[in-house]
Amino acid sequence: MRICLVSAFPPSRGGLSEYGLHIAEELRSNPFLRLTILADQLPHPQSEQNGFSIIRCWSFNDPTSVVRILRTIRKLKPDVVWFNLLFSTFGTNPLVAFSGLLTPLLARVTGHYTHVTLHHLIDTVDLDDAGVRHARAYRLAGALATRMLLLSNSVSVLMPGYRKILKERYGRDNVHVRSHGILTRKPEYPDFSRRGNPEHRILAFGKWGTYKRLELMIEAFKLVGSAVPNARLVIAGGDHPKAPGYVRSMRKKCASDSRIKFTGYVHEDRLPSLFQTSTVAVMPYSSSTGCSGVAHLACAYGVPIVCADLPDFRQMAEDEELAIDFYKPGDARALGDCLIRFLTDPAKQQAMAVQNLSTALRMTMPNIVEKYLRHFQLEQKIKSLRHSAILLKLPAWLPARAMLARVMARASLRRARDLTIPPASAKLRNGKGLLHSDVDDRGKLRRTRIAVDGD
């Protein structure tokens, strides 16, 4: 099966580039697939990721991106075109972003099977809080863009509530719910000897400056620091594209406090150390734009989470059984009190860490991508059968009907063999890790197999 993945891709830092990398790594590991990544162009020449077939054929905020992507797809003739999208993937300019979101529909019109993984919905985003002017016009344009995306062959969303919205408001049934995944093949059991010894590290991770701001976190940390002297605040990540210079300004304000550390952009290789040494991950957001990648990263390393009590995050915690402590949004005192209670309760720290690791074990990227591939394979086989069914409409007396039936049957069988992706082995996929036999057909663990207190 030939797959084109349309996504921002490292070393680009565009939206969802890391997610695109993890999808691509899983697809590349399957010898029965041919993967080509249609990625965003880099502002400066940089070395590419090894082992990938990458065509950088579109640019952020470039109005010609849609034409260039379609031209490349036409040359490659893939079986599946998979789009990894935010509403702002193709640009912050409203017209460019809107035209970019036309690409899945146009790819389908030209005869290609298109699938969209949509990471948020414009219907659930607080546009005022995200700093968007002319929110009403954006809402109308977003609704139209959503309808265009739903004209793809199929769409995946990351929360059940999103599927409900798309079905009730837009009347579409080609929407599937998929887990976000934990952006790693191998979850790591939490190393409790590195947490609270000698300091409790409070991690705030993200792209800062819009609905993710640091003022509340820093104010709450002042309360935490007086009650828990060995607490430290680690702020990781850079500016949101709409808020250049924000992190630098906050670093200057906190320069006199040695307990607050700014790491800047964190490369993929440094993530394990960053999370394993953190006692808790905090999401001090004023609004949400969908399923949180930070929360799933925390789960991968067994890190408990403290989070603003927002509807998307509450639904995410309930659906995926995440261990999250919630506080009232915008209330620094509530956040501070929540962190103090957590940092002074070692039993709770361990229980929440183990629960998040248990969740991570059933959301590994091999498991998530395998479900996508099963869906693509089924759709391609149905398409092949539809072509064969054309013969049924031919009159029985037609002399060439039998010969055509044999030719098309052989072609269908050949096509089916080409599209068949053998199921994952029941052996370990990554040496030490999750057995596929430990996961049922809904992605739920039969047994967590986690050793706690010598058990």
Domain boundary among 177, 209, 226: 177
Domain of 233, CATH number, reads 3.40.50.2000
Q: How many domains does the chain have?
A: 2
pLDDT at 440: 47
Distance CA 119, CA 140 (A): 19
Residue segments in the chain with a per-residue pLDDT below the cut of 70: 128-132, 384-455
Residue 454 domain-assigned (yes or no): no
Tell me the Cα Rg of the chain. 24
Residue 54 lies in a domain: yes
Rounded to whole angstroms, how far apart are CA atoms 82 and 117?
A: 8
Maximum distance among all alpha carbons in the chain? 91
Position 34 in a domain: yes
Residue 27 lies in a domain: yes
pTM of the complete model: 0.78
Residue 319 has what pLDDT? Answer: 87
Domain, as residue range, for 197: 192-361
Domain end (from 120, 145, 177): 177
Pair 77, 163 in one domain: yes
Strands 260-264 and 280-283: unpaired
Whether 158 and 199 map to the same domain: the answer is: no
> Are both 76 and 220 inside the same structural domain?
no
Residues 141 and 241 in one domain: no
What does the pLDDT look like over 389-440, one tens digit per residue? 666 666 666 666 666 666 666 666 565 555 555 554 433 344 444 434 344 4
Residues 158 and 201 in one domain: no
Same domain, 141 and 196: no
Residue 336 included in any domain:
yes
Question: Is 422 inside any structural domain?
Answer: no
Domain-located, residue 415: no
- CA 355, chain centre distance (Å): 21
One domain for residues 168 and 204? no
- pLDDT for 43 equals 84
Is the domain of 216 the same as that of 356?
yes
Out of 311, 343, 361, pick the residue that ends a domain: 361
The answer to the question of residue 442 being in a domain is no
Does residue 302 share a domain with residue 171? no
Residues 98 and 162 in one domain: yes
Residues 216 and 275 occupy one common structural domain: yes
Question: Are residues 84 and 117 in contact, defined by beta-carbon separation less than 8 angstroms?
Answer: yes
Q: What CATH number should be reported for the domain holding residue 51?
A: 3.40.50.11930
CB-based contact 143:136 (threshold 8 Å): no
Q: 113 and 250: one domain? A: no
